[in-house]
A and B are shown apart, each in its own frame.
Chain A
Amino acid sequence: MSSRADVLVIGSGAGGAPTAALLAEAGYEVLVVEEGDMVRQGDAVPFSLDQMDRQYRSGGVTAAIGRPSIAYTEACCAGGGTEINSGLYRRPPEDVIDRWRTEHDIADFDTAEIYAICDEVEAELSVQPIPGTATGASEALKRGAERLGWSHDEIPRWMTYSSTDVASGRRRSMTETYLPRAVGAGARIETGTRVDRLVVSDGRATSALLSDRQGRATTVRFNEVIVCGGAIQTPALLQRSGLRHRIGRSLAVHPTVKLTARFGDELNVPDDVPVHQVKEFAPDLSFGGSASSPGLLALALSDHWKLFGSAIEDWRNLATYYAAITSEGRGRVMALPGLRDPLVTYRLTRRDRALLGRGLARLALVMLEAGATEVYPAYRDAPIVRGRRDLAAMQGTFGVGKASMMTVHLCSTVPMGRRPKVSATDSHGLVNGTRNVRVNDASLLPDAPGVNPQASVMAVAIRNARRFIERSGS
C-alpha cells in the first residue's frame, strides 16, 4: 500500500504540530505521521501510571547508559511532550539566544524575531501565571527560598482556568492548539504509525517506510520531509536512513537529582506539579518541584527503601523536588541494526558531578528552611536529613554513581548552525548533504538552554517553518 503527500511531517509534538499547522495554512498538502495514539485531555489522569502506559514511550522507562546511567522520559502520543509535562513555559533567555547565534554561527537568528514568535505562541497557548494560590508543595519551595534570601519565581504555564481554583486548569497542549489548526487547514494525521526509515538517494529523500501496530508496512511518497520526532527518535530515524554525519553525537540534557521532603501539614497534590522554581544559582543550577503521585513518591523513596519506605504511609505530607544542572557533558544516540530503540549514552564531567552534589544539598537546605521535618535524598543508602548537621553526612556519602539520575529535557542531537565539525543542519534545519530532509524539533537546539526547552523548540520550529514557506514560495 502506498500514499502521497506534498510534505511529510514526522512527529506531532512541540516541533511537529506548529510545523504542520503553519505549512497546512500556507496551502501545503501535509501528512503528519505520529507513532503514538491520540489521547484526549481528561482521558488520562496526569502523572498517573495509566498515563505513563498510554502516552509515554516504553511506559516511561528508558535510560541513557553511562556511569551513572540517566533515566529519561519521552512522550509517545499525539501532541508529544506537551501532553504529559507540567506545561511550564520559559522563553529562551537572551544570553542563550546570543550564545547559539555566535558560538554556532546560526544565520538570521535574531533575538527580536524569536521573541516576537514567543509572543504569538504565548497568546496561542494562553501562557499565564496561575490564578489564586499555588499548591502547598509549590509554596513550600518558595518559602524556603525566601527564608534563605534566594531568588525564586513562578513559571507561567500553558493553561486556561475556568475559575480561581488551580485545579480548574486545562492545558493548552498541541492536541488543543496547533494540531486542530493543522487539521482545520487540511492536514491529515495518522496516529499509531511509526516511520522505520526514509529512502534517500543522492541527498534526496523520496519516500518513507511506515509500519502500524500490527506490523503492516506502507510507503508514503513525498516532496519534502520534516522530521520532528524529538531529540532521541529524530537522530535515530536519520541514522536508520543512512544519514549519520554529525548526527546523534551531541545529546545535551539537564541532569537532575531528586529528594522527597516530609512536612507537618498535608500538601500533596497527586495530579499537579509546583509552579515555583529557585533561580538563585541559575543557569548552572535550578530547583523545582516534581510530580508526586503516590507511585512516583514510592519510586523517589526507593533508593533507600529500608530507611525511607515507611514514610510512604504519610504520602499526603510528602512532596518530591529536583535539582537540575546545565551540564558540560554530552551524550550519543545510536540506532543499532535490529533494535527498535536506539542506544543512548551520556557522560557527566567532574564539574557536573560536583554541581549535582552541591545542588542536592542546597535543595535539602531549602526544604529544611521551608519547615520540612525530614528529607529523603534519592540516592543509594542516603541518610535521612533532619537538620543542618545531617547535610554534612549527606554530602559526605553522596556520589552521582549512587543517585537516581533522570532528565526530561533532551536536546541537541542534530544541532543547527554553521559551526565547523559540529552543526548537522544548516541554520534552518536542512540536514547537511541533503536537499529535502529537514529537522524541526528539540534536536536542532545547539545545547540545553538551562530552562524548560519547549518554548525554545516551538519558537525555532515556527521560525524555520516560515522560512521554508518563504523560500519555496508556495
Chain B
Amino acid sequence: MKDPPDITIVTGASGWLGQALLAALTDPADPYGRAGEIRALATSKPEGDVLGRSPGVVPVVGDVRTRAGLRDLFDGLTGSVDVIHAAGVIHPGTVSDFVEINTRGTQNVAAAARAAGVRRLVHVSSNSPFGVNPHPTDRFRNDEPYHPYMGYGRSKMLAELRLLDEVGKGLDAVIVRPPWFYGPHQPARQTTFFTLVRTGKFPIVGDGTQRRSMVYVDNLVQGVVLAELAEAPPGRAWWIADERPYEMNEIVATVKSALANAGLDVTDRQLRLPGVVGRMAQAADSIVQRSGRYVTQLHVLGEMDKTIACDIAVAEAELGYQPAVELGEGMRRSIVWCLDQGIAL
C-alpha cells in the first residue's frame, strides 16, 4: 500500500459519494483521513463555498465537460497527486447529458490527469456497462463482457473504454464499479425511495426473488481508497459492493423494519406488480431514451424485475476490501442521517 498523496483531487465532490469521500478523507479520526490537500471540484461558486467549509478542502469551480473547465483543477500541482473521479450523472435531464458528463467528462479528466503526471486516477464506474444477470443466482464475475443497459450504461461503458485508452498512453488509472448505493448524503430520490417503502407503494415487480447488489457508501469509500493506494497494475477494475447481493423482498422488508425501528409509521401493505410490468417499462424506457428524453420513474421501474448482482471476491483478494456494513445496519444509519438532517420520510 502506498501512502496518501500530497494532493487528492476529487471530482463530483458535491455528489452522494463525493460528500461521503470528503467526510472520510478530511476526518483525522476516520481510518481514511489524510493530511494533505483535498482539491474538490464544484460546479458553481455557492456549491464550492459549501465544500470549502470542511477543513483541508480547497474548492475549485469547474466543469468536466470541457478541457478548459478543468484547467484550474489541475493548475499548480506540487508533490504527489491522486485523482478520484466521482463525477457522473445517473438520472439526467436529457440523454445527451450522459455522454457529455459521463463519457466526455471522464475522457477530459483522464487526459488532464495524464498531462499533469498524476500518480493514480480512480474512476468510479457502475454495474450498468454490464447489463443484467441472466437469472437470479447468476453473479457477474470480476471480468465480464460489456452489455450496456440503456443510455447510462452505454455512457459509462464508453467512459471506461476512453479511460483505458488513456491507460494505454501511460496514465495509471484503475476502475471501481459500485452498484446501487445507499447511505448518508443521499439525494432526494433516495428519500422518495424510503417514503414509498414506508407507505407500501414501492413496487415489488415479479416474485421479488430477483437480487440486487448494493453498496453502503462507507463500504464504497473503503473500496475507492484501497483502489487508489493498492499496488495493482493500471487498467485493473473491481466490483465494490456489500458482501452479498440481496433479494428484492429482503431489501424492502429490511427498509420497512429499519423505518419502523426509527419510530416511523410503516404500513403492512405492499404493492406488487407482475413481471410483465417491468418488461413493459423497460421497453418504454428504451423508446423514450431513443428519442433523447429521460424519465427517471420509467427507467427505475424497468430495472425493478432484473437481477443485477456481482461477486466481490477479486476485490477482497487483490485490495483486501472488507465491506464492514451490511443492509440492516446501513439502512438504519441512512435513516438516522435523514432524520438528523430534518428530512421528512
Contact = CB atoms under 8 A, between A and B. Distances in A.
Given A355-B134, A357-B134, A358-B147, A392 B141 contact: no
Contacts of A359: 134
Nearest to A364: B145
B268 to A, nearest CB: 32
A164 interface: no
A281 B142 CA distance: 13
Contact of B145 (A149, A351, A395): A395
Interface string A336-369: 0000000000000001001101110110110001
A149 to B, nearest CB: 7
Contacts of A281: 138
Nearest to A388: B146
Nearest to A396: B147
B284 interface: no
A154 interface: no
Nearest to A389: B161
Contact of B314 (A149, A355, A357): A149
A148 interface: yes
Interface in A436-469: none
A391 to B, nearest CB: 4
Interface size class of B (residues with CB under 8 A): 20 to 34
Contacts of B138: 281, 284, 355, 358
Contacts, number: 58
B135 interface: yes
B326 to A, nearest CB: 25
Contact of B148 (A150, A351, A392): A392
B135 A365 contact: no
Nearest to B142: A149
Nearest to B148: A392
B146 A355 contact: no
Given A149-B142, A150-B141, A351 B135 contact: yes
Interface string B142-166: 1111111000001001000100000
A176 interface: no
A365 B134 contact: no
Q: Which of B129, B143, B314 has the most CB of A within 10 A?
A: B143
Nearest to B317: A149
A354 B134 contact: yes
B203 interface: no
A280 interface: yes
Contacts of A357: 134
Contacts of A396: 147
A370 to B, nearest CB: 13
Interface of A: 148-150, 280-281, 284, 351, 354-355, 357-359, 361-362, 364-365, 369, 388-389, 391-392, 394-396
Given A354-B135, A396-B147, 14 more contacts: A148-B141, A150-B141, A354-B132, A354-B134, A355-B134, A355-B138, A358-B138, A361-B145, A362-B145, A389-B146, A392-B129, A392-B145, A395-B131, A395-B146
